[in-house]
Amino acid sequence: MISHKQNNVLFEEMTFEGANKPLILNKPRLLEMIDVANQKNTLESLREDIFNLKEQLSDFKRDKTGLLNIGTNGDTMILNQKYLFSELKQIVEAQSLERSKYYLCRLSKGISEEKTERKQRN
């Protein structure tokens, strides 16, 4: 049997097209995974973490860490899969480790920001 890693295509060939559907996510777990990726010392290892995150977000069966929740109990959040995959694609396509980390921090900040603050500004 060929391993999953051997079947992976290059990042440049990967599709990060998400469906226009909501994902119910474990917010602390997502932020933790982003933080772990942000601590990587090479662009390749950071990209590998983002690829693994994308795989988990693609299918409930691939989620081995409790990232996807089927209920809204606990500290969950809802994000559009298409939006999230677009952000992950930008991180993977960045040409430098520093730029990838910038996009990771921006994503983390966006996830952490309270919706009530945004609503109050409008």
Residue 8 within any structural domain of the chain: no
**Which parts of the chain register pLDDT below 50?**
1-13, 116-122
Residue 119 within any structural domain of the chain: no
For residue 99, how far is the Cα from the chain centroid? 16
pLDDT of residue 99: 97
Q: Is 107 exposed, middle or buried (0-12, 13-18, 19+ CB in 10 A)?
A: buried
Residue 78 within any structural domain of the chain: yes
pLDDT of residue 32: 94
pLDDT of residue 118: 42
Q: What is the C-alpha to C-alpha distance for residues 68 and 53, in angstroms, rounded to an integer?
A: 11
pLDDT of residue 70: 64
**Domain span holding position 31:** 17-112
HEC sequence for 76-89: EEEEEHHHHHHHHH
* 107 closest CA partner among 78, 76, 82, 86: 86
Q: What is the C-alpha to C-alpha distance for residues 27 and 61, in angstroms, rounded to an integer?
A: 19
Number of domains in the chain: 1
pTM: 0.76
Residue 12 within any structural domain of the chain: no
pLDDT of residue 19: 74
Residue 48 within any structural domain of the chain: yes
pLDDT of residue 9: 40
Residue 71 within any structural domain of the chain: yes
Tell me the CA distances in angstroms from 72 to 32, 68, 69, 110, one per residue in order.
19, 10, 7, 20
pLDDT of residue 20: 81
Residue 61 within any structural domain of the chain: yes
How do residues 46-60 score in pLDDT, each as one tens digit?
Answer: 999 999 998 888 877
DSSP classification of residue 98: H
Residue 32 within any structural domain of the chain: yes
